[in-house]
Amino acid sequence: MMPKTATDIDPLPPYPRLGECYRLLAKALDTKASNRQVDRLAREGDFDWQLLAQLREELIETPLLAKSNENFTDFVMDSAKTFHQGYVALIKTVQLDALTRKQSLPALISLLFAPFAASFLLRMQEAVPSPPIAALLNDQQHPVAVAFTWLEQELGVETNQLGHLLYPNALDENKNGRELMQRWRHGQQLPTLQRIGLLQRTLLGVFPLRHRLVTTFTEWLIIARVLVVFDEAASAQLKLRDSILREVLGNVPPDDIGNKLAALNIQASAHKSKLVKSGLLLDDQLKRTTSKALGDQARTRYGLDQFRHQMSLQEPEPVSAYFLEFLEGRWHVLAGQLETALFHYERAADLALYRSGQTQKNILREALLLAAYLGKLPLYKRLKHRALVMGFSFLPAWNNVVATAEELRMIRGNFEDRFPASGRFLESRMSRY
């Protein structure tokens, strides 16, 4: 068992994990229930590359089809897939390795999540009748109340009288239904997806000729619920509905999210330029294929220890730990200490995901090669799941199977190609003779 290191306390990655995103969406749609798989994805990251598609079906498609309608379900599913693809592309491209989660979230919400939500609402408004979008996003009004007020206006029902019309007496179920509607409208309770489905049936029983309006209202009531949950989730960072409203009213082309996030990351690292320079110098000195001089092993070992010390002084939250572990892994490979190297590569892969942009591909590649070389099939499988989720491919027919012993043998020989003996420390090569 390897000793604990200063980076064993993992900081949250600056990009929320896909599991976190799907868990929040499921909570907003009231479809999460007790799904342990999405909770595990949110905690651990991508342990099963096929699970996300399955969760989209279980947490979005199936429950929405049961309680809403096919068109709305398809619209939400397509939006979720589009966001997923764009989000992964951003994660793979733009590194946020100088930022903590607390620093990154306001920017991600205002630059990514709010514009996407605004686009979703505007596209939905174009497709179906809708309550006033500005009112739904007004933080002085409750979105559920706005949806009900709009329905009453469209039906020609006096404001706040819909409950009395649907539940004409104050006994038993009628009383409960009327009181429940009032709690929803006053923001005391959110309508569940099941209750929304029941309300739709009740409305159609009273207004059988207004099927399209009732169906559309049901969709907007679900969206109102989602807005409330998202707003609460973002409340520690900013007012989400305000941000979405600015996007809706702004009518301007989308910002270059990548450039803005990259600039924020550079700004966050400005105070630790010495740490950054020493890390880049070590990266150059620990290249896989360059010849090493006698004494480089001890010299770079000292540099790594100094880098770790500087990091502990300059980073209250060790956001650069992934790079330190990556360099440690490289150093131990070059020193011929492969088991120890694998420990550090595994740590680097854990810490780089949802953080280090394009660097996470290099880390995953080397960790996979080393795991294969040492015959560590369970670790190889775990790392490959992550690579597949991020769309990284390192072999022909990479996606056909998760991992097999045969694949392990196929890829094993690539380790020597990536880490040729000529690039190892002279001391480690001499110790073989």
Per-residue pLDDT tens digits for 69-83: 999 999 999 999 999
pLDDT at residue 9 tops 80: no
pLDDT of residue 172: 62
How large is the average pLDDT for residues 252-275?
A: 87
What is the amino acid identity at position 298?
A: A
Give a yes or no: residue 154 inside a domain: no
Q: Is 35 exposed, middle or buried (0-12, 13-18, 19+ CB in 10 A)?
A: middle
The tokens 């408004």 sit on which residue?
125
The number of CA neighbours under 13 Å toward the Cβ of 104 is: 27
Q: In 10 A of CB 299, how many CB atoms?
A: 14
pLDDT of residue 136: 97
Angle between helices 359-373 and 321-334 (to 10 degrees): 40
Task: Name the pLDDT band for 48 (thresholds 50, 70, 90).
Answer: confident
Per-residue pLDDT tens digits for 320-361: 999 999 999 999 999 999 999 999 999 999 999 999 999 999
Under 8 Å between Cβ of 262 and 97: no
pLDDT of residue 34: 74
Q: Which whole-number Å values give the CA distances from 55 to 19, 117, 258, 381, in the listed order? A: 10, 21, 28, 20
Give a yes or no: residue 322 inside a domain: yes
Give the chain's domain count: 1
All residues at 6 or more sequence positions from 280 whose CB lies less than 8 Å from its CB, including other chains? none
Average the pLDDT over each of 15-19, 66-70, 137-141, 241-245 and give the range with the smallest value: 66-70
**Alpha-carbon torsion 131, 136, 138, 139, what sign?**
positive
Question: For residues 261 and 427, which has the higher predicted lDDT (pLDDT)?
Answer: 261
Of 184, 110, 187, 189, residue with least CA distance to 141: 187
Give a yes or no: residue 122 inside a domain: no
Q: Which whole-number Å values give the CA distances from 289 to 81, 208, 303, 402, 415, in the listed order? A: 40, 75, 19, 30, 12
pLDDT at residue 123 tops 50: yes
Per-residue pLDDT tens digits for 174-185: 668 888 999 999
Task: Name the pLDDT band for 397 (thresholds 50, 70, 90).
Answer: low
Share of the chain above pLDDT 70, in %: 93
Give a yes or no: residue 346 inside a domain: yes
pLDDT of residue 396: 63
Under 8 Å between Cβ of 322 and 370: no
Give a yes or no: residue 425 inside a domain: yes
pLDDT at residue 433 tops 50: no
DSSP notation for 153-201: HHHTPPTT-HHHHHS-SSSHHHHHHHHHHHHHHTTSSPPPHHHHHHHHH
Task: Name the pLDDT band for 212 (thresholds 50, 70, 90).
Answer: very high
How large is the average pLDDT for residues 14-33?
A: 93
pLDDT at residue 5 tops 90: no
Task: Name the pLDDT band for 164 (thresholds 50, 70, 90).
Answer: confident
pLDDT of residue 106: 95
How large is the average pLDDT for residues 41-61?
A: 90
pLDDT of residue 103: 94
pLDDT of residue 176: 80
All residues at 6 or more sequence positions from 189 whose CB lies less than 8 Å from its CB, including other chains? 180, 183
Of 425, 430, 384, residue with least CA distance to 407: 384
Share of the chain above pLDDT 90, in %: 78
Give a yes or no: residue 55 inside a domain: no
Give a yes or no: residue 6 inside a domain: no
Residue-number span of the structural domain to which 351 is assigned: 269-430
Give a yes or no: residue 291 inside a domain: yes
Average the pLDDT over each of 59-68, 218-227, 301-310 and give the range with the smallest value: 59-68
Structure tokens at 185: 């409208």
